[in-house]
Structures are given as C-alpha cells and as structure tokens.
Amino acid sequence: MTASTFRNYIAGEWVAGATVTVNRNPSDVSDVIGEYAQADAAQAGAAIAAAKQAFPAWATGSIQERANILDRAGNEILARKDELGRLLSREEGKTLPEGVGEAMRAGNIFKFFAGEVLRTGGEKIPSVRPGVDVEVTREPLGVIGLITPWNFPIAIPAWKLAPALAYGNTVVMKPADLVPGCAWALADILARAGLPAGVFNLVMGRGSVVGEAMVAHPDVAGLSFTGSVATGRGIAAKAIARMAKVQLEMGGKNPLVVLDDADLATAVNCAVQGAYFSTGQRCTASSRLIVTEGIHDRFVAAVKDKLAALKVDDALAPGTDLGPVVDQSQLDTDLSYIEVGRGEGAKLAFGGERLGKAKEGYYLAPALFTEATNAMRIAREEIFGPVAAVIRAKNYDEALAIANDTPFGLCSGIVTNSLKHAAHFKRHAEAGMVMVNLPTAGVDYHVPFGGRKGSSYGPREQGRYAAEFYTVVKTAYIAP
Ligand code: UN1
C-alpha cells in the first residue's frame, strides 16, 4: 500500500483496508485519482460496533454542538466548492460546472440540517382521560447504514448523512466503489468538524462485502440506499426479514410530456437538459419524451439541432456540455440498449456511437430514438445513460396514459401553456415529483425527494420530511 492510499475512518481513526481499489478518471483512464481502502466484513463490523458505542452520548448530547458541527462541515464544503467539484468531475465524469454545483448542493444540505437540529420539537396533546397529558416526540433510530450511489458522489452522501446526524443517529457509510474520492473528502471534513469518535464511520469497499455486512447486522437499525432496483430489492428483503427500517431510492423511467401548445424552446431545453445532462446518469433523467402530433416533427428537428451543437468531451475541459459515461460496464450497457432499440424497430435519429477523443475515456454521442412505442424495452427499462426515446401521442389524454404506463414513478414532467392540462397532470401523474415547464432532473435540496411504484420504498428523503426515516416517534402519557 502506498502513502497516497486513502483509508477508512472508523472509531475516529484512519485505518487501512484489507485491500485497495484504484480510482480512475472516466474522461482519461490513464489519470489515477488515488488508491482507496477496501474493507472486509470484519472491518464493517468494527465500524458498526463503533457507531453503536457512540450512539447514546450523541443521541442525548448538546444539540448546539450537533448544529455547530453540521454548520462547520457545510461551510467548509461551500468554501472548497471549486476543488471538491473538480474532484467530483474527475472521478465521476459530470462536467465541472455540474460538479461545482453539486458540491454547493452538499454544502447547503449540511447548513439546512444544522438549522433543523434546533427546530425538531414535538407535540403536546390533551388526553381523553382528564388530568393526563400526551406528548409526541421524535427520537433517533440508532446506528444507520448508508449505501450511496456513484452518480451523485457528494450530494447523495450529504443528503443521507446530514439528516442522520442532525436527528441524533450514528452512521456507517459505504460509498459506491466507483467514486470513493468525494466520500473520503466528506469524511475528512466531518473528522475535522468536531464529531465525537464513532459517530460517523466511512467504510469503503464492495457492496457484496461491506453492504451485505451492514444489511445483515442486527445492530444496524436503519438502512438508506440509493442505487439499482435489483440491489434495492435484495436489501429490502433482508432488512425487512430482521425488521430493520429501510429507505430505498432506485430507478426511474421518467416521462416528459410535450403538448402542441408548448413553447418549443422550453420543450427542447427541458428535454435536452433532462435527458442528457450529467450524461443522462440521473434517476430523474427524462428517458421517455412523449410528444403530441402537432408539435412532434418540429420538436424532433429542434432536439436534433441542439444535440448536434453539444460538445461531448473531457469533463474538466472548459466548454464541455456532456462528459463521459462513468465506466466501461455502463458504456457497454448503454451501447447494448442502443442495439436493442434498433432491433425493436425504433429509429435512431441521432448519435449513439462511441466517440474517440484525444484521451482514452468512455465517450458516447447522445442518442435519440424516434418512432418508439411505450412497449419497447428502451421505453420500459432504465438505461442510465444519454439515451432517450420519443413516443408519439394523439392528444393529452393519451400522453398522460403513456406517461403513467411504467413500472417506475419518480418524476413526471409536462411542457405546456395550458393551465388546465398542467393542473390535471400535476394531480394525475403517478409520480413522487411533478415538473411543469421544467426538466424532470435537477431538484431543490430542502424539499421532499422520492417516488412511487418501483422507484422508491419507504419515507421520503430531504427537507423536513427526512425526519420520517431518521427518527422514530414516541408517545408519552403523563399523569401528575
Ligand atoms: C436531481 O435530479 O437533481 O440518483 C437529483 C439520482 C437521484 C438524484 C437526482 N437520487 O439520480
């Protein structure tokens, strides 16, 4: 192991893992960001034990201290947004402005929950029995296991960690194997922000080893996971079997409905931003563009023009609009779905080919299918790449029906100037989030986030609603 190896953080100490993994830049595979520790199951167990030991004092300690620590962490993230954004873009491949924006989001999330620490009260309710008082309060759960994805390497760790700590839990966090750099930077910031030893533990390593150990361990009271549907289902089955609390954010196959009366520029902007930015690697990405007949051809032509003008290149290079796909395996998935779409009879109207650049990376031209149907696999399965399919609809009613005909339900968007259709869609879209004249991807950090059907399971994340998962309610009856 070399001196540049980034270690795990357990019980307030930086500790070497059982092995290491090499973190590479997807824009330039010869660029090594560093070697990062990989824990084994025993090390995951040590982190859980440390979190368990730290819990009682943290849960009942000074809320001023808790607020101060979260605020300090938020301030440092914001002060270092350019550097952290660069690290993020270098390890994940979203563009530098996107990386910096995400770092700011993470900093703001810590600042928001620093405030929430001081605002978490309860209710006092009169009892039906004279002379008795009832109090309803929230208490922390205990040790929380966080399993975070590669596509938001700093914002998603922040939006799980900040509420977990704010409400008095202790944490073991396992970041995605592909992006340990931002999680390590976050751990380093928290370690210096004054957290007592064991309150926060970073355990980098494989999902099948560290993740499994967290899911199975009886001392982990709650698990919050963002990632694939298959992994999420497996986690839920095991967590529920031992009656642990579980929160899952999984896939999307988000529709963007474009009606005849839409402003064309808004529609094109929503489609291109929602489907392709961050290389389409967002669970909120619009992958189904459901377009009514009267605007269909103009919309397709304008989207193609816009895609032709996008610069796909090194995520860190100035002027890049789309960075690379995150790794070879995701690139293979994207390319295989492009073949599937062709085989199913959709027309590849733009892009879809691997691009050669000065540096070796996983570059893919954004792909637009037209003449797709909602029954095709490219319209039903989450691809998680810069690939979208245009589906024709006769009218608003048919567009809504197609939008809702999906196993997922994260975010549904509509572009229209009709108040009537916008209001109807807002009410009848079967999704956790609805966007009117806005891209489906790109959400605020202080309001609830989550979906319905196959997209999510358990309470919402973010904002004050995060308390639903990270606390447990107690009802106390008091007689004098
Ligand atoms: C956003 O679109 O701003 O993994 C956030 C994801 C989501 C976050 C999307 N949990 O893509």
Closest ligand 1 atom, residue 282 Cα: 11
Q: Does the residue 468 lie in any domain?
A: yes
CATH, residue 161: 3.40.605.10
Q: Does the residue 443 lie in any domain?
A: no
Q: Does the residue 20 lie in any domain?
A: yes
CA of 127 to the centre of ligand 1 (A): 43
Q: Is 249 close to ligand 1, i.e. is its CB under 6 Å away?
A: yes
Question: Do residues 246 and 290 share a domain?
Answer: no
What is the pLDDT confidence band of residue 2, given thresholds at 50, 70 and 90?
very low
Catalytic: which of 92, 249, 382, 461? 249
- On the question of pLDDT at 354 being above 90, the answer is yes
Question: Do residues 376 and 295 share a domain?
Answer: yes
Question: Do residues 324 and 465 share a domain?
Answer: no
Among 279, 283, 460, name the best residue to mutate to test ligand 1's pocket (greatest count of ligand atoms within 8 A of Cβ). Answer: 283
User: Would you say 219 and 52 are in contact if contact means Cβ atoms under 8 Å apart?
Assistant: yes
The pLDDT > 70 percentage for the chain reads 99
For 379, the domain range is 255-436
Question: Do residues 180 and 275 share a domain?
Answer: no
Q: Reading across the β-sheet that carries 347-350, which strands appear in turn?
A: 347-350, 367-372, 387-393, 286-292, 254-258, 411-415, 433-436
Please tell me the number of Cα atoms within 13 Å of 120 on its side-chain side: 29
Q: Does the residue 444 lie in any domain?
A: no
Question: Do residues 102 and 231 share a domain?
Answer: yes
Count the Cβ atoms, other than its own, within 10 Å of residue 281.
Answer: 24
Question: DSSP state, 84?
Answer: H
Question: Do residues 272 and 209 share a domain?
Answer: no
Question: Do residues 82 and 167 share a domain?
Answer: yes
Question: Do residues 64 and 176 share a domain?
Answer: yes
Please tell me the residue having the least CA distance from ligand 1 atom 10.
283
CATH, residue 327: 3.40.309.10
Q: Does the residue 56 lie in any domain?
A: yes
Catalytic: which of 182, 270, 283, 411? 283
What pLDDT score was predicted for residue 3?
Answer: 46
Q: Is 43 close to ligand 1, i.e. is its CB under 6 Å away?
A: no
Q: Does the residue 203 lie in any domain?
A: yes
Query: Active-site residue 249, yes or no?
Result: yes
Question: Do residues 216 and 273 share a domain?
Answer: no
Q: Is 443 close to ligand 1, i.e. is its CB under 6 Å away?
A: yes
As a whole number, the mean pLDDT across the chain is: 97
Q: Does the residue 363 lie in any domain?
A: yes
Over residues 194-235, the pLDDT tens digits come to 999 999 999 999 999 999 999 999 999 999 999 999 999 999
Question: Do residues 406 and 340 share a domain?
Answer: yes
Among 88, 152, 178, name the best residue to mutate to test ligand 1's pocket (greatest count of ligand atoms within 8 A of Cβ). Answer: 152
What is the pLDDT confidence band of residue 301, given thresholds at 50, 70 and 90?
very high
Question: Do residues 319 and 364 share a domain?
Answer: yes
Tokens of 79: 């002060």
Instruction: Look at the chain and report how many structural domains it folds into.
Output: 2
What's the CA gap between 168 and 175, in Å, rounded? 21
What's the CA gap between 198 and 182, in Å, rounded? 20
Please tell me the residue having the least CA distance from ligand 1 atom 3.
442
Q: Does the residue 473 lie in any domain?
A: yes
How many residues in the chain? 480
Over residues 245-264, the pLDDT tens digits come to 999 999 999 999 999 999 99
Query: Active-site residue 411, yes or no?
Result: no
Question: Do residues 178 and 297 share a domain?
Answer: no
Among 88, 94, 151, name the best residue to mutate to test ligand 1's pocket (greatest count of ligand atoms within 8 A of Cβ). Answer: 151
